[in-house]
A and B are shown apart, each in its own frame.
Chain A
Amino acid sequence: MKKDVFVALSLLTAFLFISYAVTVRDVLGIAENPLRPLGEFYLSHAFAHEGLTSHSPEVVTAIVWNYRGFDTLFETFVFFLAIMGALSVLRLTREQGMEVRALEAREPHRHMDTITRTTTKLVVVMIVSISASIALHGHLTPGGGFQAGSAMAVATLLLFAAFSKFTLERQGLTLRHTISAYALGLAIILATVIAPVLLYGGKVLEIDLLPGETGLFNLDVGEYTAVTFGFLTVFLALGVPEWIFKLVLRREVK
């Protein structure tokens, strides 16, 4: 208890000291120089009619998907590799998958009480709507594909917690569907990235050649789909109860 108070007080002191040093004493020298040349370039070019523009009033999305687009593109690939890694570690053959489903079907159907379920239902539908808004409006207001996909992942997690993984699977949502949807999202991203080369003879990721905001919009929607279903894939793969997983892997079930 005393240790907690000590830690809290020292964190508070450090926070106050750093804030004082940065704002009042200006040790980093950022107070006199509110806008650096690079920042000014982005702000004046992100939404312009000519030059190196992304046609987007949302500078953060413009930077993320255009000015440093390769970074985001490779991040998407890293995410892809992570999910493929998780899937290959947790992979099951077709027969093993069927055994898992048979064992899971034998388990009693458990979910939380009425209050939690009813509230979750409403909240999940609202989160889905909000995440779509974050994604589809990502090139106009703060937001974007990855943020929206993460919000969607929260919605699916809530469903897992309040209802159960089986509730989703009984509605016909299987690993195969989520992987296909994930691939679709990646395909949208790749198509948008390569389109400038094939259609306009530009460079890879030179999306300002595409008409208006199409480039950023497509990338946001693609990333939204990819992240949503990427997370969902991992959740479904990890959601298999451990004892069932081990039992099937060790072939102790006939």
Chain B
Amino acid sequence: MSFSSRFSPGTFVLVLAVYLFYTGSVSEYDLATGSVVALVVSLIVGHWIIEDDRKAFSPRRWFYAVLYGLRYFLIEETKTHIDVAKRVFTLRANPGIVRVPLEVESDYGRVLVANSITNTPGTIVVDISDDGKWLYVHWIDVSTLDEREVKESIVAYFEDYARKIFD
């Protein structure tokens, strides 16, 4: 295996960024040791975590990722927190497990959708089908069993962003 097919710049940047962030300083010593560590790690794992480096450095994808982060944590989280807080006091709950179809192609996209669902209060991803096309979600308020409506109320806009960021 040649150097260029093995080396992944995306992994290199990720490892170096984590190294510097954890070390908490950007001196010459840190840059030198961090680069060596990042080089070794990215040569060992190759394209295991980042399959396509052009995607990892695409500004458009990063823009959508930041936008998604802001929208998710500021708006969606607040809405569902308020909803679940109300349920705690009124004791209105109709729990059950529903099946949600997924249309994202990439693994990271699926994980983003699944973890976004789990992180919002009231919904937890219980399982994912082996082909990655279905999510099984425990939902605090099963108001409908219609696939489209379930998807509308649980997955919301997560999938659009997941596709824009990772697919």
Contact = CB atoms under 8 A, between A and B. Distances in A.
A118 B18 contact: no
B34 interface: yes
* Chain A: interface size category: 10 to 19
Nearest to B33: A136
Given A125-B41, A133-B19, A141-B23, A115 B11 contact: no
Contact of B125 (A115, A122, A128, A130): A115
Given A121-B48, A122-B49, A137-B23, A129 B115 contact: no
Interface string B112-133: 0011000000000101101010
A128 B41 contact: yes
B111 interface: yes
Interface in B1-31: 11, 14-16, 18-19, 22-24, 30
A232 to B, nearest CB: 14
Contact of B15 (A115, A129, A134): A129
Contact of A129 (B22, B107, B128): B22
B155 interface: no
Nearest to A113: B128
A125 B15 contact: yes
A31 interface: no
Nearest to A119: B111
B128 A114 contact: yes
Interface in A101-142: 113-115, 117-119, 121-122, 125-126, 128-130, 132-134, 136-137, 141
Interface residues of B, number: 29
B157 interface: no
Interface string B36-55: 01100100010011000000
A145 to B, nearest CB: 14
B49 A125 contact: yes
Interface of B: 11, 14-16, 18-19, 22-24, 30, 33-34, 37-38, 41, 45, 48-49, 107-108, 110-111, 114-115, 125, 127-128, 130, 132
Interface of A: 113-115, 117-119, 121-122, 125-126, 128-130, 132-134, 136-137, 141
